[in-house]
């Protein structure tokens, strides 16, 4: 504690002890042995540091060491539960490894993303985890990152040889479609997210592939929507519901989209799955208690976050292995938003008591 003029710094502590900053630095960074600092001196320094609540200035340290022990995380929308959970996992893993995380929200907008990347560059993050918006412009701005290690997550940029961790979007969508086909659906639409982004396009491709294989229609008129917001999902679903030839099932390629579809169906005084079957993406806490409980494709979000961080730290560590791309498996969680058209009109398995009867 002593007399604290200004913020406690390594330097001021040294002065108070009549030592040089060099010695204090070496002790505090655990280099006492290597530089043969006497035990007595070391203890004095440690004691003083503890009692004065010294916190070394990370800015100065980073400047000198040329690394900040921080990483950047750029995602399209932190308020989307998928990315929120991803952020939580990345932050938590990073913390365990002594890194802190600078989060930026690109708002699914290439311009904002470019800004965010510039920010990351000027803040000198040691590495970057990025869910890219994915347009050519964004790709260009990516090069501004220089040689900073970068790992893509959820979405990848085929043009760039960057390591990436994604879940198997294509297989996920195909799985959803297969599930529907099995249950007698033949007219299956899809509510997409942001076209041009990898995750979306892969899912659309999976949807189309599964339908084509079954010789079912998969034309562009069955692909609606644009953007991952609830509103986008609702608007797309509204349009779909007004069509003369209404599809019997919809695959919503995002968790918020599925919510939007549900809202639109409710608005129209229709019901899922009676009037329309629905399969969503990403398991979320609310997915099991919405009306009806949502059948969906689950991605291993925690694993995505952890592996991305691990991969990034490897890169930062210098292991410039060839740009690995890992694709994580997904699975279908069956609940009650899909109607079985084969066996007449029987309702779905977990038929809960309808409200109103005590």
- Interactions with a second copy, residue window 47-66 (CB under 8 A): 53, 55-60, 62-63
| Three-class SS of 23-89 | HHHHHHCCCCCCCCCCHHHHHHHHHHHHHHCCCCCHHHHHHHHCCCCEEEEEECCCCCHHHHHHHHH
Identify the three-state secondary structure at position 206.
Answer: helix
Task: Please check whether residue 276 is in contact with residue 242, taking contact to mean a CB–CB distance below 8 angstroms.
Answer: no
Within 244-283, the residues that bind a second copy by CB under 8 A are 256, 259, 262-263, 266, 269-275
Nearer to DNA by Cβ, of 22 and 270: the residue is: 22
CB of 215: closest distance to a second copy in angstroms?
26
Task: Please check whether residue 196 is in contact with residue 202, taking contact to mean a CB–CB distance below 8 angstroms.
Answer: no
User: Phi/psi zone of residue 2: left (φ > 0), alpha (ψ -120 to 50 degrees), beta?
Assistant: left
- What does each C-alpha distance from 347 to 272, 276, 344 come to in angstroms? 11, 13, 9
Q: How many residues bind a second copy (CB under 8 A)?
A: 71
CB of 32: closest distance to DNA in angstroms?
8
Within 135-174, the residues that bind a second copy by CB under 8 A are 144, 146
The item of a second copy, DNA, none sharing an interface with residue 21, based on CB under 5 to 8 Å by kind, is DNA
Interface with a second copy, residue 292, by CB under 8 A: yes
The item of DNA, a second copy, none sharing an interface with residue 158, based on CB under 5 to 8 Å by kind, is none
Nearer to DNA by Cβ, of 33 and 245: the residue is: 33
DSSP conformation class of 91 = H
Nearer to a second copy by Cβ, of 56 and 324: the residue is: 56
Interface with a second copy, residue 243, by CB under 8 A: no
Please state whether the peptide bond connecting residue 98 to the residue before it is cis, i.e. omega within 30 degrees of 0: no
The item of DNA, a second copy, none sharing an interface with residue 269, based on CB under 5 to 8 Å by kind, is a second copy
Nearer to DNA by Cβ, of 59 and 289: the residue is: 59
């Amino acid at each position: 504690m002593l007399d604290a003029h200004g913020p406690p710094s390594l330097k001021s502590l040294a002065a108070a002890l009549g030592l040089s900053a060099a010695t204090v630095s070496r002790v505090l960074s655990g280099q006492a042995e290597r530089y043969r600092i006497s035990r007595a001196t070391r203890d004095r320094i440690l004691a003083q540091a503890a009692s004065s609540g010294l916190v070394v200035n990370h800015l100065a340290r980073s400047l000198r060491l040329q690394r900040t022990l921080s990483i950047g995380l750029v995602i399209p929308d932190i308020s989307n539960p998928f990315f929120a959970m991803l952020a939580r996992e990345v932050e938590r893993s990073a913390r365990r490894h002594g890194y802190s995380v600078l989060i930026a929200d690109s708002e699914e907008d290439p311009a904002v993303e470019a800004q965010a990347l510039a920010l990351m560059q000027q803040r000198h993050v040691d590495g970057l985890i990025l869910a890219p918006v994915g347009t050519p412009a964004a790709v260009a701005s990516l090069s501004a990152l220089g040689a900073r290690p970068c790992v893509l997550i959820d979405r990848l940029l085929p043009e760039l040889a960057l390591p990436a961790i994604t879940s198997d979007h294509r297989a996920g969508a195909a799985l959803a479609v297969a599930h529907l086909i099995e249950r007698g659906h033949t007219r299956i639409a899809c509510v997409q997210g942001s076209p041009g982004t990898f995750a979306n396009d892969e899912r659309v491709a999976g949807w189309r592939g599964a339908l084509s294989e079954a010789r079912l229609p998969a034309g562009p008129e069955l692909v609606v929507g644009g953007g991952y917001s609830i509103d986008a999902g609702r608007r797309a679903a509204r349009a779909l519901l007004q069509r003369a030839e209404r599809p019997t099932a919809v695959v919503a390629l995002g968790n918020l989209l599925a919510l939007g579809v549900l809202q639109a169906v409710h608005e129209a005084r229709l019901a899922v799955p009676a009037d329309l079957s629905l399969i969503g993406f990403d398991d979320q806490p609310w997915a099991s208690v919405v009306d009806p409980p949502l059948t969906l494709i689950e991605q291993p979000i925690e694993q995505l976050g952890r592996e991305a961080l691990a991969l990034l730290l490897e890169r930062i560590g210098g292991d410039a292995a060839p740009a690995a791309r890992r694709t994580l498996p997904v699975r279908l969680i069956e609940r009650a938003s899909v109607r079985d058209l084969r066996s007449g009109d029987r309702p779905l398995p977990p038929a809960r008591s309808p409200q109103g009867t005590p």
